[in-house]
Structure 1
Amino acid sequence: MNRAPELERDLKDPSLYINRELAQLEFNFRVLAQAQDPGVPLLERLRYLCISNSNLDEFFEVRVAILRQHFIFGDAVAGADGLSPAEVLNRIRTRTLELVRVQYDCWKDMLLPELEREGIRFVMREQWTAKQRRWLQGYFRDEILPVLSPLGLDPAHPFPRILNKSLNLAVILKGKDAFGREGHMALVRAPRSLPRIIRMPTEVAEGPYDFVFLSSILQEFVDEMFPGMQVKGSYQFRVTRNSELVVDEDEVENLALALRDELLGRGFAKPVRLEIAESCPKSLAKTLMANFELSDAEVYRCAGPVNINRIVAIYDQVDRPDLKFPKFLQSVPHAVHVDRNLFDSISMGDILLHHPYESFNAVIELVKQASQDIDVLAIKQTLYRVGNNSPLVDYLIEAARAGKDVTVVIELRARFDEEANIKLANRLQEAGVQVVYGVVGYKTHAKLLLIVRRENGRLHRYVHLSTGNYHQVTSRIYTDFGLMTAHPDICEDAHKLFQQLSALGPVIKLKCILQSPFTLYKGIMDKIARESAHARAGKPARIIAKMNALNEPGVIEMLYKASVAGVQIDLIIRGACTLRPGIPGISENIRVRSIVGRFLEHSRVYWFANDNSPEIYCSSADWMERNLMRRIETCFPILDPQLAKRVYDEALENHLADNTQAWALHASGEYERLSPGEDMPHSSQQALLSKICSP
């Protein structure tokens, strides 16, 4: 339906925008719904519960921590939604209380009983047999007690530093110790070297899989840590701290050294949340709150283990394939089989990879061949998250030692991978690799590989671009697209990008690739505006975009204008979306859906109808302020018509047809899970598994 371009409503009206933090928090409810879904294999449901919990940890470590800082210092600038930090924190509190309640209800009322029916038991203290108690007491004395340092609190023994997210017991004591000191409170810190879940051996277990929480063992035998004193009670607690690293890059000479120093203090930064046992007395809770300088609003009582995400440890210990997702064999495109020269294959035409349905080994094989090919002169690559023991790193080192020019751009500030990336940078440098830390003030989030090869006396370039990280493990559980190409313009663009990253050059003009922070934002805005112009002219106009998150106000405003102009817009956004779809006269032509399934939807794909001359792009960037303004990102076109159709079919049309794992966002900010109704059920991920992979 075409509309006049005039608008009666201000598109900057805060009521048109959902708060970013609340939208991000809402995603965890969709993850948790997978744990509640009886159609999901039982051990996978357990994993989803733990994922929702670990996501919540990170949410407090980063987003809530930043909000609290703004609230304390009063330096916040209201976002597009117009909410103050105080109001956002209040709403986060309300929604988090509900999330925590549902998490523990799911654990106690659904998963625990169903696991027990399958012979997987978490044996509580009151359920231990005499034989089990004797074994556990021996385990406590031999394996646990020697590494504990229980601490009675008094003026000579002040409250110790408590490590971020560590398991602790607060113990109430009565009586006098050997020195005549009157005891009233003590702390027991569980070292991270101790497993949080202990499997009982077959000689004492009553089923095939009997597990005990470390916290249960500590509480049962806590009196042995305080001989001669009476234990009146012991209560679990855990504190979450601000984990956002802050380094003034304009004031440091070496970013790696500055980050290393910051990492030393991360575990003991400002507290932002206190989790305590549901049964913890109010007086003890107030003592803990006073120590951590937290208020009632930052305390969450847990109706079970305070570190519920540690339960995921049993997933690999339980050999029950019937309770897990069926295994599948990743496909390998014919053009990238290991017995083929990949440079010849890429020269014959672009190669598209769709992970995890197609194997990431194709990328590893490309780097391997480059490292061993005498005609390859140079390899340049960006690394954001790479994982432990990556063969890619081994091949880059092999190439450097073979005399090839190897340059690696490592993003040291990749959140929670900072320490690993510093070690990686040191390892590469020791092997002779030229390591660059990116650009001051901008995270390098682009996924880019460039290989320079001499062929028949001339230099040829080969490029791999991706929507996801060069990470072998996550490539099996994240959906991403990768493109191998020898297209001259794309290769020239990649060459210029690496020049800019390593040589501190000026803004460069690229032919095919859109780049943040320079051309990607404007490129997206221009393409949305072009669709609006087509719609007003009565021409075909449509936008389909798939990404992890959308929160950039300028893009959202432009999408609202396009909707008013009559452009049909479908957004497939896994996580946080701050746009409100379905508002009459504003966004009634916009539909937003989220897919939550076996794999984490990570690929970013943008499609523009362009008056029946469609354009499709894959990108490392979400439509977020940080990705478009404060990061180095790439957005690359799929130029081969057959590959473009494949991306459209597999990433867009397929996901828009999903009616089993899709959630529709309403204008209220609430999500509704879609169901097939009378239609044929369609799971987008299962459809691709059936199409591409072998069981």
Structure 2
Amino acid sequence: MSKPRKTRKPVADIATPVGGGDVADPLRDPSLYFNRELSQLDFNFRVLAQALDESVPLLERLRFLCISCTNLDEFFEIRAATVRHAQDFGSIAPPDGLAPTTLLKRIHERAQELVDAQYRCWNQVLRPEMEDNGVRVLARGTWSARQTRWLRAYFRDEILPVLSPLGLDPAHPFPKILNKSLNIVVVLKGKDAFGRSGHLAIVRAPRSLPRIIQLPERISGGEHDFVFLSAVLSEFVDELFPGMEVKGAYQFRVTRNSELILDEDEVENLALALRDELVGRGYLRAMRLEIAADCPKPIVRTLLENFDLPENAVYRIDGPVNLNRVTQVYDLVQRPELKFPPFQARTLAGTDAMFELVAEGDVLLHHPFDSFAPVLELIKQAAEDPNVLAIKQTLYRTGKDSAIVEHLVQAARNGKDVTVVVELRARFDEEANLGLADRLQEAGVQVVYGVVGYKTHAKMLLVVRREGRKLRRYVHMGTGNYHAGTARGYTDFGLISADPDLGADVHQVFQQLSGLAPAIALKRLLQSPFTLHAGIIARIERETRNALDGKPARIMAKMNALNEAQVVRALYTASQAGVQIDLVIRGACTLRPGVPGISDNIRVRSIVGRFLEHHRVYWFANGGDPELFCASADWLERNLLRRVETCFPILDPELKARVKDEALDNYLADNLNAWELQPDGSYLKLSPADGAMPHSAQSSLLAKLCG
């Protein structure tokens, strides 16, 4: 058993009901829905809580702080930018009823609270504790004379040659400032070589410069002493303006909209159009300005005018504006005692003959506890096996220097028919995927860019192999990307199977993606945008009927986010019928649990721990004959209605029991890393009840599968 422990005040922004509602359908009342954007923003407080948790190793706490900062960047680049677009051009009102103008105001208020908490964590907690442990990030004003001399020489030799300061005057208007780049605004007094009076100048830090500088031990006296580039620039910026007096130097950073918008119906060549859009991505509309806390108000107003931002979009920073860059310290400091202990992922026996292994029965992989190697081996062996005729695969994110890509290239060179569906619009991986597509095409791979208007988010691999007089299909389906790196840090399931019906379904989906095939009934899979949404609703409604009929009725599901309104209403109806519903949702959740008479049978929890929770698992009691699915899709409107997604059943009884035990029962028993969503929108950290054994879902899986 677990008991809740309040770790911070409730999130009033999320919980404030709008009122009103549809009289004909009380389940449409806006007060029954949290706002998705505010809920997503709130997730970062749970991440930040890991940075304050003394049971977490110190450098891992630093990493969690940086993750919360990076997440906030992306939130403004995508989620807040979407709200700004809705404010300017209108949109359909969300279920919670918040108007874009009101929502933007609340976003800035809540984000400011998060930023303040991040810098308190850095200045008052982590930085001092790191220094106590021999890892120092030295601030200006604390440098010794020897350190200062070395840093000045470093500035002159390594930094100064690549800087191009720009004085602002009629001939030098305000420059373009790249998204999330480090900049210094400098206040000057005096005249330059041409007799021009100085006032303001901008110094942009090229991205080629390291944001964290490590001092040599012989100079600093410490093995792990670091300085932010921003501090070095501010300290020695006067060398850029000889003969003039620097009255002040203030770092700043602007976060811009990064959501690419393509009118795909008007685009003849998606790849070419995307290349054109990427050129200007770093200079889209500004969303947020971060600036040194001591910057004078007139300078802030000048920046706001140039970026066309309101006053509430200014974030005055007590520290480096690019705090997330301190994550480099994690990589540079080799101190095992300050990090999570390493683990060895479980290896699967028989991977030297994958086709024979899978022919004997389905193979389930639970990453990162199970190695990703069997997936790589399957593709490698398919590329080399003379009996393999064709390989088809979707690629959403693969990572740099992907072994999968090398195997696919080799397969094409070996004469296999290789088709790869590359999703060019995978956010922030667009440029990498364009290069990936070019590489594959050069090797003779047939590259498909998916379906106009629908991102291909499904994770599928199909291998067609001749065995005697017949062709046999082997498939891999997963909840996560074909990315060996994330397979070591994200929790995901993968299924490798030779089930004929599953193979036929995957084949049909590939036909739809590459050959304009019609949507036909699939035997095993549920698929977005055709049957997954309806299939989930139908199964929730079946549990509702079973509860009313006195049959076993329960729903358990684990996912990253939930906001699809029709699914939420179906869950409310099921709760009213007495269905017990347990949801493990890492991030945004618009469903309000615990409302008497509406959702009092629904519990929602979020798990934040060492690994990023990423698998999607749906379990339905089905009157005593349970159904269990794994999927690439969250219960979000975009995933269920506007993407190509797949949801696959786990049919083998032993594997079905394993998934339920490891991903559902295990996580619902967590009382160390679990946060429970309250009716008012706050999240309460759970702790072991009196006499109860502490239980961490992730730690138990490490002990069970990797011990």
Q: TM-score, normalized by length of structure 1?
A: 0.98
Q: Is the 8 A contact 2:529 2:640 kept in 1?
A: yes
Paired residue secondary structure (1:133): helix
Task: Supply the distance in 2 between the matched residues of 1:499 and 1:293 (Cα, whole angstroms).
Answer: 47
2:31 pairs with 1:15: yes
Matched with 2:655 is 643
Matched with 1:579 is 591
Paired residues for 1:366-377 under 5 Å: 366-377=378-389
Task: Supply the distance in 2 between the matched residues of 1:508 and 1:149 (Cα, whole angstroms).
Answer: 60
Residue 77 of structure 1: how far off its partner (Å): 1.8
The residue identity in structure 1 corresponding to 2:675 is W
Which of 119, 122, 135 is the equivalent residue of 1:107? 122
Matched with 1:407 is 419
Deviation sequence 1:273-318 (CA, Å, 0-9, x none): 1111111100110011111111101111111100000000111110
Paired residue secondary structure (2:173): coil
Which of 478, 484, 493 is the equivalent residue of 1:472? 484
Paired residues for 1:123-134 under 5 Å: 123-134=138-149
Moved over 6 A (4+): none
2:607 pairs with 1:561: no
Which of 361, 386, 408 is the equivalent residue of 1:396? 408
Q: Is the 8 A contact 2:286 2:307 kept in 1?
A: yes
Task: Supply the distance in 2 between the matched residues of 1:42 and 1:95 (Cα, whole angstroms).
Answer: 27
Give aligned pairs, total.
684
Task: Supply the distance in 2 between the matched residues of 1:654 and 1:252 (Cα, whole angstroms).
Answer: 47
The residue identity in structure 1 corresponding to 2:126 is L
Deviation sequence 1:534-559 (CA, Å, 0-9, x none): 00001110000000000000000000
Matched with 2:363 is 351
Q: Is the 8 A contact 2:289 2:315 kept in 1?
A: yes
Task: Supply the distance in 2 between the matched residues of 1:599 and 1:510 (Cα, whole angstroms).
Answer: 34
Task: Supply the distance in 1 between the matched residues of 2:245 and 2:169 (Cα, whole angstroms).
Answer: 17
2:320 pairs with 1:291: no
Q: Is the 8 A contact 1:104 1:304 kept in 2?
A: yes
Residue 335 of structure 1: how far off its partner (Å): 4.0
2:71 pairs with 1:66: no
Which of 173, 177, 180 is the equivalent residue of 1:162? 177
Residue 334 of structure 1: how far off its partner (Å): 2.1
Matched with 1:263 is 278
Paired residues for 1:444-483 under 5 Å: 444-483=456-495
Task: Supply the distance in 2 between the matched residues of 1:222 and 1:334 (Cα, whole angstroms).
Answer: 60
Which of 611, 617, 620 is the equivalent residue of 2:623? 611
Percent identity, please.
66
Matched with 1:314 is 329
Task: Supply the distance in 1 between the matched residues of 2:443 and 2:421 (Cα, whole angstroms).
Answer: 15
Paired residues for 1:527-606 under 5 Å: 527-606=539-618
2:699 pairs with 1:686: yes
Matched with 1:53 is 69
2:112 pairs with 1:97: yes
2:639 pairs with 1:623: no
Which of 453, 468, 477 is the equivalent residue of 1:441? 453
Task: Supply the distance in 2 between the matched residues of 1:480 and 1:105 (Cα, whole angstroms).
Answer: 34
Runs of at least 5 residues in structure 2 that lack an aligned partner in the other structure:
1-22
Paired residue secondary structure (1:228): coil
Residue 507 of structure 1: how far off its partner (Å): 1.1
Task: Supply the distance in 2 between the matched residues of 1:225 and 1:507 (Cα, whole angstroms).
Answer: 64
Q: In terms of mean alpha carbon deviation, does 663-672 or 201-210 score higher?
A: 201-210
Task: Supply the distance in 1 between the matched residues of 2:671 and 2:251 (Cα, whole angstroms).
Answer: 42
The residue identity in structure 2 corresponding to 1:294 is L
The residue identity in structure 2 corresponding to 1:125 is R
Which of 197, 203, 226 is the equivalent residue of 2:212? 197
Residue 9 of structure 1: how far off its partner (Å): 6.8
2:42 pairs with 1:26: yes
Deviation sequence 1:227-247 (CA, Å, 0-9, x none): 000000000000011100011
Paired residue secondary structure (1:195): coil
Residue 202 of structure 1: how far off its partner (Å): 1.3
Q: Is the 8 A contact 2:441 2:447 kept in 1?
A: yes
Paired residue secondary structure (2:695): coil
The two structures, once aligned, show a CA RMSD in angstroms of 0.9
Which of 398, 402, 405 is the equivalent residue of 1:386? 398
Paired residue secondary structure (2:687): coil
Q: Is the 8 A contact 1:352 1:483 kept in 2?
A: yes
Q: Is the 8 A contact 1:335 1:351 kept in 2?
A: no
Residue 508 of structure 1: how far off its partner (Å): 1.6
Deviation sequence 1:620-663 (CA, Å, 0-9, x none): 00000000000000000000000000000000000000000000
Deviation sequence 1:575-629 (CA, Å, 0-9, x none): 0000000000000000000000000000000000011100000000000000000
Matched with 1:3 is none
Matched with 1:365 is 377
Q: TM-score, normalized by length of structure 2?
A: 0.96
Q: Is the 8 A contact 2:216 2:223 kept in 1?
A: no
Paired residue secondary structure (2:187): strand
Task: Supply the distance in 2 between the matched residues of 1:381 and 1:228 (Cα, whole angstroms).
Answer: 62
Matched with 1:36 is 52
Matched with 1:672 is 684
Deviation sequence 1:498-550 (CA, Å, 0-9, x none): 11110011112100000000000000000000000000001110000000000
Paired residues for 1:485-564 under 5 Å: 485-564=497-576
Task: Supply the distance in 2 between the matched residues of 1:513 and 1:559 (Cα, whole angstroms).
Answer: 22
Q: Which has the higher contact order (CA 8 A, sep 6+)?
A: 2
Task: Supply the distance in 1 between the matched residues of 2:484 and 2:263 (Cα, whole angstroms).
Answer: 32
Residue 76 of structure 1: how far off its partner (Å): 2.2
Task: Supply the distance in 2 between the matched residues of 1:172 and 1:418 (Cα, whole angstroms).
Answer: 39
Matched with 1:274 is 289
Paired residue secondary structure (1:250): helix
Matched with 2:3 is none
Task: Supply the distance in 2 between the matched residues of 1:171 and 1:51 (Cα, whole angstroms).
Answer: 30
The residue identity in structure 1 corresponding to 2:693 is M
Paired residue secondary structure (1:379): strand
The residue identity in structure 2 corresponding to 1:217 is V
